[in-house]
Amino acid sequence: MNLPRRKFLHLAAGAAALPAVSRVAKAQTYPTRPVRIIVGFSAGGSPDIFTRLMAQWLSERLGQQFIIENRTGAAGNLATEAGINAAPDGYTLFLATVANTINTTLYDRLNFNLVRDIAPVAGVVTGPNILVVNPSLPVNTVPEFITYAKANPGKINFASGGNGTSVHLSGELFNVMAGVRMVHVPYRGGAPASLPDLFRGQVHAMFDNLPNKIEYIRTGQLRALAVTSATRWPSLPDIPTVAEFLPGYEVTTWMGFSAPKRTPTEIIDKLNKEIDAGLINPKIKARLAELGGAPLLGSPADFGKFIADETEKWGKVIRAANITIQ
């Protein structure tokens, strides 16, 4: 059957537009079922706390449950690999953190390329780590801590939630820049698992995410010596920075949501819009500040560039300081 040229072109144009219309329609109705968010850290730690805060917001805004799946191990690498290998349909997200950008250089054999294999969705929060010690340790300042550590080489333990985390690298960088030799003690259960030993003084110090420790600092269960950001943190203005005593020292932790590569752009843009709306919501913004964090706003492209820049930064630090994992 011969079709008139004009009708043929009209039908062809309509057929070509179908995929685009289908993608837009899916984005408009998304999500139609629960969405899982894979978190590479245990329940109760700051990555879990911030993820649950935003998951609740997304559930309320989008009418479907955003469910947290805690999958610990290998400093977040197992969770990241699971997220990258999930179906790129918007129903699996995973938490990207500073640990991922550290691991890119720290681990020789990863089954993925962070910058190449993820679709950045949105940043969520940024903030410093904080150096805390058991109150029984006879130090009140960073200089006193350095002096004590030098007088007791190999006898001061510092805890972390696992090899390759920013908590671990904060201590290793401190070792290098302060010329001390603290012993790293990783806890498989993440930062919360270290608390009993830290309270008992079996481990002496920790460079933990601020939200994990802010309440224990306020109640006097732990002594805060310094934050790891370049400048003092607004919620703890009386706590100095490590850089005030070791110029150039800086570690900032952050986290945000990513998706498997090839997740539809329309879905990513929708999620980004809703997450950013949450981050400027007065109640959520106040809760972030209460926990010691600040919103990490921006487009998916902004977050992607941020991840790439952080990967390059930590690669330089790790290679220059010759930091390895045992």
Can you give the pLDDT of all 326 residues of the chain as single tens digits? 455 656 655 655 565 665 655 556 566 799 999 999 999 988 888 889 999 999 999 999 999 999 999 998 887 899 999 999 999 999 999 999 999 999 999 998 899 999 999 999 999 999 999 999 999 999 999 999 999 999 999 999 999 987 778 888 899 999 999 999 999 999 877 778 899 999 999 999 999 988 889 889 989 999 999 999 999 998 889 999 999 999 999 999 999 999 999 999 999 999 999 999 999 999 999 999 988 899 999 999 999 999 999 999 899 888 887 887 75
φ/ψ of residue 4, rounded to 5: -60, 145
Structure confidence at residue 191 (pLDDT): 77
Gap between the Cα atoms of 41 and 86, Å rounded: 18
Structure confidence at residue 84 (pLDDT): 97
Gap between the Cα atoms of 211 and 124, Å rounded: 14
Structure confidence at residue 20 (pLDDT): 53
Alpha helices per DSSP H over 152-281:
166-178, 191-200, 210-218, 265-279
CA distances from 61 to 77, 124, 228 (A): 30, 16, 35
Do residues 149 and 285 touch, judged by C-beta distance below 8 A?
Answer: no
Count of Cβ atoms closer than 10 Å to residue 306 Cβ: 19
Which domains, and CATH codes, for the chain?
34-127+252-321 (3.40.190.150), 128-244 (3.40.190.10)
Do residues 87 and 260 touch, judged by C-beta distance below 8 A?
Answer: yes
Structure confidence at residue 303 (pLDDT): 98
Report field, pTM of the whole predicted structure over 0.75: yes
DSSP H or E segment with residue 319: helix 300-321
Do residues 227 and 253 touch, judged by C-beta distance below 8 A?
Answer: no
Structure confidence at residue 292 (pLDDT): 86
Q: Please report where in the chains the tokens 């190999």 appear, as a residue.
A: 154
Q: Which among 17, 26, 18, 13 has a CA at the least distance from the CA of 265? A: 26
Gap between the Cα atoms of 151 and 145, Å rounded: 10
Gap between the Cα atoms of 207 and 158, Å rounded: 8
DSSP H or E segment with residue 221: none
List, in order, residues 6 or more apart from 184 with CB less than 8 Å away: 157, 158, 160, 163, 168, 171, 172, 326
Which amino acid, one-letter code, is at 73?
G
> Tokens representing 264?
């539809």
Q: Please report where in the chains the tokens 């401190």 appear, as a residue.
A: 174
Structure confidence at residue 10 (pLDDT): 61
How far is Cα of residue 290 from the mean position of the Cα atoms in its chain? Answer: 18
Count of Cβ atoms closer than 10 Å to residue 278 Cβ: 22
> Tokens representing 148?
């004590």
Structure confidence at residue 225 (pLDDT): 98
CA distances from 44 to 41, 51, 189, 295 (A): 9, 11, 10, 20
Q: Which among 255, 156, 144, 254 has a CA at the least distance from the CA of 206? A: 156
Structure confidence at residue 15 (pLDDT): 59
Q: Which among 110, 100, 139, 323 has a CA at the least distance from the CA of 224? A: 139
